[in-house]
Structure 1
Amino acid sequence: MDNLPSGERYLYQLFSLIKVGHLKVTNPQGQEFNFGDQSSTSLHLIVHNQNTYDRVLTFGAMGFCEAYMEGWWDEECDRLSDLIGLFHTNGVYTKARSLITLPLIVKVATQRLRTMPILIQNSRKNVQHHYDLGNDFYQHFLDPTLTYSCGYRLKETDSLEQMQLQKYELICRKLALQPGESLIDIGCGWGGMLIYAAEHYGVKGTGITLSEEQAKLAVERVEQKGFSDRIQIIVKDYREVQGQYDKFVSIGMFEHVGKGNFATFMQATAKFLKPHGVGLLHTVGTNSTQRNGAWVDKYIFPGAYVPQLHEITRELMAAKLSVAHCESLKPHYAETLRHWRNNFNDNKSKIAALSSIYDERFLRMWDLYLQSFEGGFRYGGMQVYQCLFYQGKQWRFDTPLTFSAKAALTANR
């Protein structure tokens, strides 16, 4: 390989870390290179454009992802999640993310300064970047509940919709919701959690979102269900919201508040809860020291910061909220993402027809996002945590002292 260009040599040095599994690479000149155990099931990386190598040499993992967006490389059978899994398993991804170059430093620093969610206006722009892509866009790959967070799978044959309804039921049981109670949902999306809780548990709900697009459709969905007198949707930052509630929930929003706002978020949560109130935080997390990479920061979730479990519990305790129960739904998110990606792939032509913004580069970007996150949850250090907590020092007996979610849900199927 000594006679290869420097960028190509660098990428193959990364791939030489592969000991578990097998990767075949075909470069633009038709040359083939093999890495790992050739007796294993093989993945085939086909490089179409020589510029891929220099992009990786300059920008590391971010450059590799950008090259995919440009159509410069493919996995022969479109098994990106397995490719990312191979990289996770063999430390390739970690090594690529450790690359430090001046162009990468400048690029990352500029992006983070522009999207830091300390200011409310930055939080609003970050949310709009991802969640205001259009309700019709999301309807082409989400389930009918329009739930854009980790589902809860009880059986291998569960549909995506079943997984999401089971997730809502799981949360309602953990919160021990009662008829007439008030529930605030921070980051309510299209209102799925509140609609489920109102329909099955008789609660009154307030949903908070920064997405104008989500709010419009959420209000329509609430009206269609006849819950307009029991559920209100408000477009505000959580830092601008007043009032107290019996129960609190936030699903898939905490990872967007930014590390500098963890304490602010938990203090606001404590103020939302009435004395002896109960809350549940459902958030993407990590058991790794690595957080979102530069590519995710720029193209997918600007301003996001994925917490470790101790960062969550530490700030809950600092806000005088007592932690009652925590669990990880890690494998459930891998399956949720698999469903989303399959739906997305099945509907690519319909999505492309919605608007010129959904061009080939955008579609490849989203395909890579969905598959790389599936790989991160299936093979890497990504987690999704549900943390149950309460206001005060005493655990009230109307919330279960012990909880067997799977048994409880299965009994009611």
Structure 2
Amino acid sequence: MKTVPKSQATTGDQAADSAALSSAANQEAFNKRIQTLPSGERYLYKLLTMIDSGDLTVINPDGESFQFGCPGTSTPLYLQIHNPKTYDRIFAFGVLGFCEAYMDGWWDEKNNNLVELTGLLHRSNIYITVRDRFAVGLFLKVAKQRLRNIPTRIENSRKNVQHHYDLGNDFYQLFLDPTMGYSCGYQRDQTDSIAQMQHQKYELICRKLALQPGETLVDIGCGWGGMLIYAAEQYGISGTGITLSGEQAKLAQQRINERGLGDRLKIQIIDYREIQGQYDKFVSIGMFEHVGEANFGTFMQKAADLLKPNGIGVLHTIATQTNERNGAWVDKYIFPGGCLPKLHELTDELWKAKLAVAHCDNLKTHYAETLRHWADNFVANWDKIQALDPMYDDRFFRMWYLYLQSSEASFRDGNLHIYQLLFYKGKQWPLTVPMDFTFD
């Protein structure tokens, strides 16, 4: 056995003792310093002491730095607070205040790495801690806002959808893929482009539905028609898509007509509760998040009504593992009236509607990659977006950049998931193809 000379051992012990004393002294100095700070700033720093991995430096408006986590263990992050009002805004309104402060330019991450910053807050459970903290001001603000947006009434659903999807087709064309797919793509390889990911998503769904030439397909929340167009061109179906966005419907129908599919595909501007008829197959991609908790059962029953006996459907939706249905900031600025389901709620309501679940996929990491592509395109084309309309100002840019980056972080490190549920109507198993949806 190799022994350590006594002199070296002593030196090592002394170094360890010195490091411990230095650490203790630094901690004591830190504790004394934050006790002298205003309450809002003190509150933020106490939250950040929850970081047990990661490397975060906060630089306050006076240029004073505070270190959190484990320096040198990961990508260093720098939270630069420009406006001292940021602290009180966070204290009063939590995540909503934090995000609004970013929109107003009150803070930045030095390298614009909002994905890692938001991910660190998720991994350290700081996001949940702030969300669950009771604040009267936040409660009253959010309660009033959500009452206005609740999608029980069709008029509210229409207003909520138009808030987001009627920003303009030109805007969305500058960061989405050519199919205008505005939902989670399917990544087969790390080098896949966003266009490849969206085509692969459509193909995956078509295989799950076991589409056959001549069948009819209804698409609830069809967006710009990407799924219907792909299914018609590749599988020979005819179908109907519905949306509450006039902008989406106009471009979707235009794209359908340009491809000579006008005799097989049609787009209607109606609510899902209003559509009639029966179809061989059913699909809904990224729309269920908008129906509202009170309407989960209504939606599933409508799916059952629209399917012919032994019909097959796919529901593609974001879901949550927490009790938070829609963050206060997202509800106010991005998706008013949104309500994320939990997986068991989806399966329960399908069962009540006499729809049997055949298969379930979780595409969580695929959505993180989709959002990464969108954010890259958004930044790369910002000059073109800004030239479209004066409404696309710096505050709009910061709002959308935060939305895309924080959403990516929520799928990488948070409690958001994306499920594809394959289901069928009736007691007889209608799937004659193997339950293997891998690509050749």
Question: Does 1:28 pair with 2:58?
Answer: no
| Cα pair 2:325 2:338 within 8 Å, conserved | no
1:38 pairs, out of 49, 71, 78, with: 71
Does the 8 Å CA contact 1:140/1:344 hold for their aligned counterparts?
yes
Alignment of 1:236-251 (within 5 A): 236-251=270-285
**Sequence identity percentage:** 62
Specify the SS of the correspondent of 1:350: helix
Letter matched to residue 213 of structure 1: E
Q: Would you say 1:12 and 2:41 are equivalent positions? A: no
C-alpha separation between the residues in 1 aligned to 2:60 and 2:98?
14
Instruction: Find the residue that maps to 2:214 and give its secondary structure.
Output: coil
Structure 1 contact 18–35 (Cα < 8 Å) conserved? yes
Aligned to 1:153: 187
Deviations 1:164-185 (A, max 9, x none): 0000000000000000000000
CA distance in 1 between counterparts of 2:429 and 2:109 reads: 52
AA matched with 2:302 = A
| Aligned counterparts, 1:130-141, within 5 A | 130-141=164-175
Q: CA deviation digits over 1:319-360, x for unaligned, max 9?
A: 000110011000000000000000001011111111111111
1:26 and 1:301 mapped to 2: Cα distance? 32
Alignment of 1:258-273 (within 5 A): 258-273=292-307
Alignment check: 8 A CA contact 1:59 1:99 kept: no
Q: Distance in 2 between matches of 1:352 and 1:244?
A: 44
Check whether the contact 1:179–1:201 (CA below 8 A) recurs between aligned residues. Answer: yes
Q: Which amino acid aligns with 1:139?
A: Q
AA partner of residue 224 (structure 1)? E
CA-atom RMSD, angstroms?
Answer: 0.8
Matched, 1:282 2:316: yes
Match of 2:348 in 1: 314
Shift of 1:289: 2.9
What is the CA–CA distance in structure 2 between the aligned matches of 1:379 and 1:191, rounded to whole Å?
Answer: 31
| 2:365 corresponding residue in structure 1 | 331
Query: What is the aligned length?
Result: 406
Q: Distance in 1 between matches of 2:431 and 2:81?
A: 61
Does the Cα contact within 8 Å between 1:248 and 1:278 map onto a contact in 2? yes
Q: Distance in 2 between the 1:291 and 1:39 partners?
A: 36
Paired with 1:272 and 1:46, the residues of 2 have a C-alpha distance of 53
**Counterpart secondary structure, 1:44:** strand
Quick one: distance in 2 between partners of 1:269 and 1:185? 10
TM-score by length of 1: 0.97
Aligned partner of 1:350 in structure 2 is 384
Tell me, in whole angstroms, the C-alpha distance in 1 between the residues paired with 2:387 and 2:131: 35
Partner AA of 2:44 in structure 1: L
Verify the 8 A CA contact 2:217 2:237 in the aligned structure 1.
yes
Aligned to 2:23: none
Does the 8 Å CA contact 2:242/2:271 hold for their aligned counterparts?
yes
- 2-structure distance, mates of 1:119, 1:351: 33
Structure with bigger gyration radius: 2
Cα drift, residue 18 of structure 1 = 0.5
Q: How far apart in 1 are the matches of 2:107 and 2:49?
A: 19
Letter in 2 for 1:69: M
User: SS of 1:155's equivalent?
Assistant: coil
Distance 2:97 2:133 in 1: 11
Determine the C-alpha separation between the residues in 2 that align with 1:65 and 1:298.
11
- Which residue of structure 2 aligns with residue 53 of structure 1? 87
Deviations 1:251-302 (A, max 9, x none): 0000110101000000111000000000000001122333321001111111
Q: Distance in 1 between matches of 2:347 and 2:65?
A: 49
AA of the residue aligned to 2:377: N
How do 1:211-250 residues align onto structure 2 when only pairs under 5 Å count? 211-250=245-284
| Structure 2 unmatched runs, 5+ | 1-33
Aligned runs of 1:107-186 on 2, under 5 Å?
107-186=141-220
Aligned counterparts of 2:199 and 2:189: Cα–Cα separation in 1: 13
> Which of 29, 35, 45 lines up with 1:2 in the alignment?
35
Provide the rounded CA distance (Å) in 2 between the counterparts of 1:62 and 1:13.
19
Show the 5 A alignment for 1:190-201. 190-201=224-235
C-alpha distance in structure 2 between counterparts of 1:96 and 1:360, whole Å = 27
Q: Report if the CA contact (8 A) 1:327-1:387 is conserved.
A: yes
Q: Provide the TM-score with structure 2 as the length reference.
A: 0.91
Decide whether the 8 Å contact of 2:318 with 2:418 is kept in 1.
yes
In 1, the alpha carbon distance for the partners of 2:212 and 2:137 equals 55
Distance 2:275 2:206 in 1: 23
**Which amino acid counterpart does residue 435 of structure 2 have in structure 1?**
T
